[in-house]
Chains A and B, each alone.
Chain A
Amino acid sequence: MPWDLIIFYMVATICVLCAVGVVASNNPVHAAIFLVLSFFNVAAIFVMLGAEFLAVVQVIVYTGAILVLMLFVLMLVDPDDLPEFHAARPVQRYVGVLLGAILLLEVGVAIIDRTVTGIPGTASREAVDVVGGNTQALGRTLYTEYLLPFEIVSLVLTVGVIGAIVLAMPERLGERIANRRGTISLGHPRGTDFALPVGPLEESPIPGSARDEAVMAGPQEFGRELVMVRDAEEQPVVDLRR
């Protein structure tokens, strides 16, 4: 048995076992760790297939970015929901396993029976080595033959990121911005009143500034006084609860 076949079987076995662990583990954190292991082995498979650049991308994007994102979300959701197994109803479970077995049988027959009809391409191992390696050859292909799909994929990523921000933004953040009265201005005579609590303006306690203290130093026996002013800036601010 040649060595590369032994290595392939080793890597593939670990990969499949870790995939089973993802499906079967109780704790989603354990499932995520199994997924990391499985993806590392997939990267090894990519190296065996001569796709070194893709192996690196697999490690950086999947195990680096997506799994970290997933662990962050695991920390954000309610911890009471996490540890249970959350399996489906028994009928659904049996149907799922049965469908999987049937599909495995079909695909196995298809793989054994297949014949290669495509025309072999120009990227043989020698041709790739002439260009300088897998990364260089793949870069040439991406930026010549697949330039338009490449740009479209960048657009898809941008839209995806914006959509993710919009979806995950707390609703209360928007409300808080919409309910903010007053202005944020350091030169305002009342000072900065951006720290007002949410609610009607009349009920909000406003910290008195020097001018308000001068107003309050006057006669204290008025009740609710009608103040006629031309615009809102002139209105003396009086804390009636004092």
Chain B
Amino acid sequence: MNEIGSEHFLFLSAALFIIGMMGVLVRRNVLIIFMCVELMVTAANISLVAFGWELDSLSGQSFAIFTIAVAAAEAAVGLAIVVALSRRVKGAVDIDEARSLRD
């Protein structure tokens, strides 16, 4: 297999990260914002693995596994917050409706 330059992977990572960032800034639906955060985490993972691949090191993949674990915990807590919010506030999927953490 021929070598692809690691710039390709880094550009893909940057593109995914920026699309995710734009989604966080542009959308107001809290679930979409959540998905965009996951997209940004994945972009960071691609970057980590690409650097590890370039330097012949397994540290990048190890850190990517830690990132995935933390992202899973973050998803559980974040979605629980969404469920709790949607029970208390009407229309809480719109983040402009949920302004404060207490009633």
Contact = CB atoms under 8 A, between A and B. Distances in A.
A192 interface: no
Interface string B1-35: 11010011111101111111111011111011011
Interface centre among B2, B22, B73 (most CB of A within 10 A): B22
Contact of B15 (A16, A76, A134, A160): A16
Nearest to A100: B22
B57 A66 contact: no
Given A23-B22, A77-B86, A97-B22, A88 B27 contact: yes
B36 A23 contact: yes
Contacts of A28: 29, 31-32
Interface of A: 2, 4-5, 8, 12, 15-16, 19-20, 22-23, 28, 31-32, 35, 38-39, 42, 45-46, 48-51, 53-54, 57-58, 61-62, 65-66, 69-70, 72-74, 76-78, 80-82, 84, 86-88, 92-93, 95-97, 99-100, 103-104, 107-108, 111-112, 116, 118-125, 127, 134, 137-138, 141-142, 145-146, 149-150, 153-154, 156-157, 159-161, 163-165, 167-168, 170-171
Which 5 pairs between the two chains have the least Cβ-Cβ distance?
A160-B73, A96-B25, A121-B57, A23-B23, A167-B80
Contacts of A74: 31
A54 B12 CA distance: 17
- Chain A at the B interface: SS class: helix
For the side of the interface on B, what is the size category?
35 or more
Contacts of B68: 54, 57-58, 61-62
Interface of B: 1-2, 4, 7-12, 14-23, 25-29, 31-32, 34-36, 38-39, 42, 45-46, 49-50, 52-59, 61-62, 64-66, 68-77, 79-84, 86-87, 90-94
A103 B14 CA distance: 9
Given A78-B93, A88-B27, A121-B55, 6 more contacts: A23-B23, A54-B64, A62-B68, A70-B35, A81-B91, A153-B66
